[in-house]
A and B are shown apart, each in its own frame.
Chain A
């Protein structure tokens, strides 16, 4: 189930299938909580695979920190099963972030204007919604992020 994630000269391997299967178990529940169908946080205009390769690692690093610090940490649900699945996905993201540190240390994670600008757009889409609504929407869009990662 291991697949390679190509972020310019930084190449990570990760278990897409495992993360995707975990997400599929919460997809229906979390996406049903999202009532704002008319907007989206991860828009195609900011897709990871369309960013120039040299800045992909930095942009992805931002996305990882965004999900770890702003989404998984703040998602609230009374459903124990959902909560367990979300923390399992969060742990997988932490593992990816640790691997990404190696690229960082080897100066393969250059942050340029494009990465900064696109991440700022994503943050503004997120901050247009308030609190838990934004967290729920971002969590429900994990399949979009996984698809971006797969297409790099």
Chain B
């Protein structure tokens, strides 16, 4: 039976959290209902369309997030999400997000980073992150296709001297020359799109040791 819209407080801080177009609706439980067996129901709307649509996988759930990536897949459209709290026979009013524009607001995830050490250099090969996929078998869409101006901020850190420096590149391969041999270096890469303050997630630190200096090895023998 449908719940009775009573004075139950609404969920709060209803927002979309989006990385590489994986768009998750999240919220906080309403004041005063934390720890109780409150459940939630989610709907979404494609901006400009007539009806709010139910998200069946997020009906009467007790978690405070709902993955709407499938339903908000077209990143050229804009969306709203909303959620209401249900406690026994009572339910709150809907709590709504702001208008969500995936193209403008998604966070760019880290690229895949492959490192190859030389004696006095490290080669770096970057693979752009991929847009979230509806099915594993679908073709991948690179975030680079969606954002042709995608760039990379590559930082390298010498663990011996604690010296750190950066390179800003657009292509996917680069090399750090003039390094010290037999030294551990750590590299971190952040993909970003110049323009509106779009958040970006840096890659984890990846560390590698440059090769031993072959010439000094030969002299020793």
Contacts and interface: CB of A to CB of B under 8 A. Distances in A.
Interface of A: 1, 16-17, 20-21, 24, 27-28, 31-32, 37-40, 43-44, 140, 143-144, 147
A37 B99 CA distance: 9
Contacts, number: 44
B48 A39 contact: yes
Contacts of B51: 38
Contacts of B76: 44, 147
A147 B103 CA distance: 9
Contacts of B104: 20, 24, 143, 147
B98 A32 contact: yes
A92 B104 CA distance: 20
B196 A31 contact: no
A16 B195 contact: yes
Nearest to B50: A38
B18 to A, nearest CB: 15
10 contacts: A20-B195, A24-B196, A24-B197, A27-B98, A31-B98, A38-B48, A40-B47, A40-B48, A143-B78, A143-B101
Contacts of A38: 45, 48-51
Contacts of A40: 47-48
B48 A43 contact: yes
Is the contact region of chain B dominated by helix, strand, or loop, or is it mixed? Answer: loop
Contact of A17 (B45, B48, B80, B194): B194
A94 to B, nearest CB: 22
B195 A37 contact: no
B146 to A, nearest CB: 11
Q: Which 9 pairs, one residue from A and one from B, show the smallest C-beta to C-beta distance?
A: A40-B48, A31-B99, A38-B50, A17-B195, A24-B196, A20-B196, A28-B98, A143-B101, A37-B45
A133 to B, nearest CB: 15
Interface string B181-218: 00000000000001111000000000000000000000
A77 B49 CA distance: 27
Given A37-B45, A40-B47, A144-B78, 16 more contacts: A1-B194, A1-B195, A17-B194, A20-B104, A21-B195, A24-B104, A24-B197, A28-B98, A37-B80, A38-B45, A38-B48, A38-B49, A43-B48, A44-B76, A140-B99, A143-B78
Contacts of A143: 78, 101, 104
A151 to B, nearest CB: 8
Nearest to B198: A24
Contacts of B98: 27-28, 31-32
Contacts of A17: 194-196
